């Protein structure tokens, strides 16, 4: 199953898979809601062994992360292979932490993507070069370790939202929002909102706009 909100990407994946007689595309979806609905409608024997999905669906990173969590909670759970145009460390970490079995960039050619799908179906991990480098940096202790909530706050901070707006958007108190900001400043070694956003982009925690 392929999940991507860009029809051209779904078309490209469909064309790639047409050349592989051992692979079959059972469904296509453009987001979390349609993906889960289609899987529920498929007979058990027709449900996908692998879901190939874009991490940045519709509203952004966190819809993709929520979809990964929903997919791996299924019984039986499909393997989830991320195919993303964004390969920043935080994207990779968030996807793997949520339960994805692999992460590939959208520049991946068919001769790498198709073996990746087969490997994911066998339960093997599939990581592109940027994902491997990011995970190695994490294992070596490089870069700040922000929580998922702190990354959410950072994204809203980069959009110019105030503490009150952040608290409203995330359904938390304004005091909690301030606490997250204090933690973010400490981890990034900065003292202002603008510096936090700039540092996060340098670290690959936010994609450039």
Q: Are 129 and 136 in contact (CB under 8 A)?
A: no
2-139: CATH class:
alpha beta
Domain ranges for the chain, please list them. Answer: 2-139, 148-202
Please write the tens of the pLDDT for every residue from 117-151. 999 999 898 887 666 555 555 555 555 667 778 88
Q: Structure tokens of 10?
A: 């779904």
More confident residue, 162 or 88: 162
Q: Which residue has the tokens 């592989």?
A: 20
Is the confidence at residue 209, as pLDDT, over 50? Answer: no
pLDDT higher at 93 or 178: 178
pLDDT digits (tens, 9 = 90+) for 46-56: 999 999 998 87
The rounded distance, in Å, linking the Cα atoms of 98 and 158 is 23
- Give the pLDDT confidence score for residue 61 in this predicted structure: 57
The pLDDT assigned to 207 comes to: 59
Question: What pLDDT digit, counting tens, does each position of 155-199 carry?
Answer: 899 899 999 999 999 998 888 888 888 888 877 878 888 888 888
Going by pLDDT thresholds of 50, 70 and 90, the confidence category of residue 62 is low
CATH pick for 148-202 out of 3.40.50.720, 1.10.10.10, 3.40.50.300, 2.60.40.3080: 1.10.10.10
pLDDT of 1-42, one tens digit each?
Answer: 999 998 998 998 899 888 899 999 999 999 899 999 999 999
* Chain position carrying tokens 């909670």: 73
Range 89-109 average pLDDT: 79
């Amino acid at each position: 199953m392929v999940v991507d909100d860009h029809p051209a990407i779904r078309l490209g994946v469909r064309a790639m898979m047409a050349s592989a007689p051992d692979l079959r595309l059972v469904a296509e979806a453009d987001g979390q809601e349609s993906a889960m609905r289609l899987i529920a409608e498929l007979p058990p024997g027709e449900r996908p062994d692998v879901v190939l999905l874009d991490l940045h669906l519709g509203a952004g990173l966190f819809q993709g992360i929520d979809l990964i969590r929903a997919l791996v909670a299924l019984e039986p759970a499909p393997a989830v292979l991320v195919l993303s145009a964004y390969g920043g460390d935080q994207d990779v970490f968030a996807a793997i932490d949520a339960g994805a079995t692999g992460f590939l960039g959208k520049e991946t050619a068919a001769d790498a993507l198709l073996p990746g799908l087969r490997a994911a179906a066998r339960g093997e991990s599939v990581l592109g070069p940027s994902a491997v480098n990011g995970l190695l940096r994490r294992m070596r202790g490089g870069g700040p370790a922000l929580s998922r909530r702190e990354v959410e706050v950072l994204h809203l901070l980069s959009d110019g939202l105030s503490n009150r707006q952040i608290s409203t958007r995330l359904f938390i108190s304004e005091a909690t929002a301030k606490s997250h900001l204090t933690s973010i400043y400490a981890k990034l070694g900065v003292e202002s909102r603008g510096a936090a956003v700039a540092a996060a982009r340098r670290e690959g925690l936010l994609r450039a706009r």
